[in-house]
Chains A and B, each alone.
Chain A
Amino acid sequence: MPGLQKEKFIVPIGPQHPALKEPAHFEFTVDGETVTSASVRFGYVHRGIEKGTENRNWAQAMYLLERICGICSHVHSTTFALGVEKLAKVPAPPRAQAIRQILLELERIHSHMLWVGVAAHEAGFETLFMYSWRDRETVMDILETFSGNRVNYSANVLGGVKYDLGPAQTDSIKRGLDYLEERLHYYMKIVNSDESFLRRTRGVGMMTTAQAEELGAIGPTARASNVARDLRVDSPYLLYEQFPVTIVLGSTGDLQTRFVVRIQELFESIRVIRELVNHIPGGDLTVRFPRRIPEGEVVMRTEAPRGGLFYFIKSGGGENPVRVKVRTPSLRNFMSVLVGSVGHQLADVPMILSGIDPCFSCNDRMIVVRREPGKETAS
């Protein structure tokens, strides 16, 4: 291997790599064990969803958009539904909004607990990984009592929701949340006190408030750096005005703070879900919704588990959307990885990467090439 030392030593991570459960391609240039630069390439799971919405009608587009991500699926369909309802000036009834909000917060619990496990796995802390995923089953079971599905609940219709909150759901939510709350206290203790774990999280992937502002970080990643950005508070949608959440901020901006912020947020979620379940408004689940949506453009932003989700929807007055632009939180946060990993040990890179809770399916939306001999087709 002559010359190897002189050239840049590039460690590729992805598209197939055990650290990434989803495909993306990162190139980290290393000097010994220290990262000196980083670049990224996505697109391995493009499905053409943005283009796909343009030749589907509004209702079909919503179900397609729900499939952008397997973890935060409900937030996509809710954001789209809210946007379209705003365009059509036909809001969903309050009970439907409450149920949407319950599902959103349940989804947040499910997403954050998944992240705790993944991040622990990247740190080589398999026990925490196994425990948190076992307990995550509780919230999956709750979601299953609503729709029969553990992911992609398809709970929304334009102008309402399909599933009601009945006694069975109330019961399973109440029991499940009690158990989860107890477990979360335990995880909080672990991430704050386990010495070997702290060695891998404290001071790693540090992002100062100024950096977070400059890189435009959002979601728990930003909040751990003391940047108060939470659309549930800044720009309340659904019933977040009547049933508000308190914004959770951390100060140091390292990985450990991100753990603390995310787990703390779950206590907020649990509190809001309980309030919603106890004071759920009565009334219908759906309203009549037009097939054609009046011409116009709308920007709809909601707080997905990973940060602010941005939808730009343009209607030409027809049965199909003219343009749906989705900007998922992971894309906004990726720059913090590319900038943040420089100067760190290679061993910390998976931790930094998972620190923003990246979701590659969310990023990759548009085109996938299906290879046929001699020709390329896209779908």
Chain B
Amino acid sequence: MSMEIEILLKMLVFPGGLTLIALGLLYEYIDRKLMARFQNRIGPRFLQPLADAVKLLAKEEVVPQGVIPIFFVSLPILALAGALTAGLYVPMAGFAPAFSLPGDLIIVIFLLGLLTLSIGLAGANTADRFSILGATRTLTQLFSYEAPFLLALLCPAILADTWQIDMVHQSVLGRVWLALPLFIGFFVAVIGLMGKLELAPFDAPEAESEIVAGALTEYSGRGLALFRLGKNVELVVGLTLIAAFYLGGLANPLEFLLKTLGLLVVVAALQALFARLRIDQTVGMWWRIGALLALAQLLIVVILKGVIL
């Protein structure tokens, strides 16, 4: 009995569920605030992301004509659930992952991709042309960054000789930061995360000056809130994963905060620095530069491993 309660607690309170959502809101706030300060604006108040979420959750959800209602309602849930589940396998807040099994790195990457996939499907489900264009762009973009992102995360895993996140994490703890020797992989992973989250300059799928809100144009109320929470959670999970792999591991909560927030500052600065890429430019960039870089990095890792070990 106590075992089941423990599992439930892990899933719903810590490190999953509420903790993840709270962290997600906190990180959204920090991201928005940093962006605002970089752009010489004042930015949101501390509780603004929470207020946004509560407001959206409380609002009526309009199910537009021409959609398949079951998909329309369930896709946001799927997206958030995927992101939350992914959080159970990463060393959240510096503690050991709630669950760990061999090959869970692939599971996490799949779960993180699930959010994007849900957004794409949600857009394709509605009859709105902005949504359809946004969905096309979302899925196009998914195919461009997913492979390099995966390759970039595989590099530390290959070094550690395991595809289990916890084991990889243990192997890098206390060692020199992998971001230094494997800077290419680190770079690709960070940019890949930005692509995944459709942050500027990779926000062509939701470019407001062209296609309103992209795939989520028709979403309001609960569905929109769930998608946004899902993105926030994914931001936290992604940052944790990258920090755990590339920044010398997360030994304790303080280290977790410092390292992930440090990454967030970098991400926010990159967002403020560039103009939006067109979708063709995004795809071209990922396949021409991103994929090659990631492959080169992987090759270097494999060769080094063969030579040294």
Q: Which one of A127-135, A155-163, A320-328 is at the B interface? A: A127-135
Give Cα A264–Cα B276 distance, bound, in whole angstroms.
25
The answer on a CB contact under 8 Å between B203 and A124 is yes
**Chain B: interface size category:** 20 to 34
Number of interface residues of A (CB under 8 A): 32
Supposing A199-B275, A200-B278 touch, asked if A122 and B129 sit within 8 A by C-beta, the answer is no
Closest to A201 in B: B275
Give Cα A124–Cα B200 distance, bound, in whole angstroms.
8
The answer on a CB contact under 8 Å between A196 and B40 is no
A347 contact set on B, CB distance < 8 A: 204, 207, 210, 278-279
The answer on a CB contact under 8 Å between B209 and A196 is no
B130 contact set on A, CB distance < 8 A: 11
B39 contact set on A, CB distance < 8 A: 126-127, 130-131
Closest to B285 in A: A199
B212 within 8 A of A: yes
Closest to A130 in B: B39
B204 contact set on A, CB distance < 8 A: 124, 347
The answer on a CB contact under 8 Å between B276 and A127 is no
Give Cα A198–Cα B275 distance, bound, in whole angstroms.
9
Complex interface bits, B202-233 against A, C-beta within 8 A gives 1, otherwise 0: 01100111111000000000000000000000
Complex interface bits, B2-38 against A, C-beta within 8 A gives 1, otherwise 0: 0000000000000000000000000000000001001
Smallest CB–CB gap between B195 and chain A, Å?
14
Cβ 8 A contact of B133, one of A11, A19, A125, A348: A11
Cβ 8 A contact of A196, one of B35, B133, B274, B280: B274
Supposing A11-B129, A131-B40 touch, asked if A126 and B207 sit within 8 A by C-beta, the answer is no
B41 contact set on A, CB distance < 8 A: 130
B203 contact set on A, CB distance < 8 A: 124
Smallest CB–CB gap between B166 and chain A, Å?
38
A345 contact set on B, CB distance < 8 A: 278, 280
Give Cα A48–Cα B204 distance, bound, in whole angstroms.
39
Which positions 257-309 of chain B face chain A at CB distance < 8 Å? 272-281
Beyond known contacts A126-B200, A199-B277, A199-B281: 5 more, CB 8 A cutoff: A12-B129, A19-B208, A127-B272, A128-B275, A346-B211
29 A–B pairs (Cβ distance < 8 Å), ordered by A: A10-B129, A33-B280, A120-B275, A124-B201, A124-B207, A124-B275, A125-B275, A125-B276, A126-B35, A126-B200, A126-B272, A127-B38, A127-B39, A131-B39, A131-B40, A194-B275, A196-B201, A196-B274, A197-B274, A199-B275, A199-B277, A199-B278, A199-B281, A200-B276, A345-B280, A346-B211, A347-B204, A347-B279, A348-B278
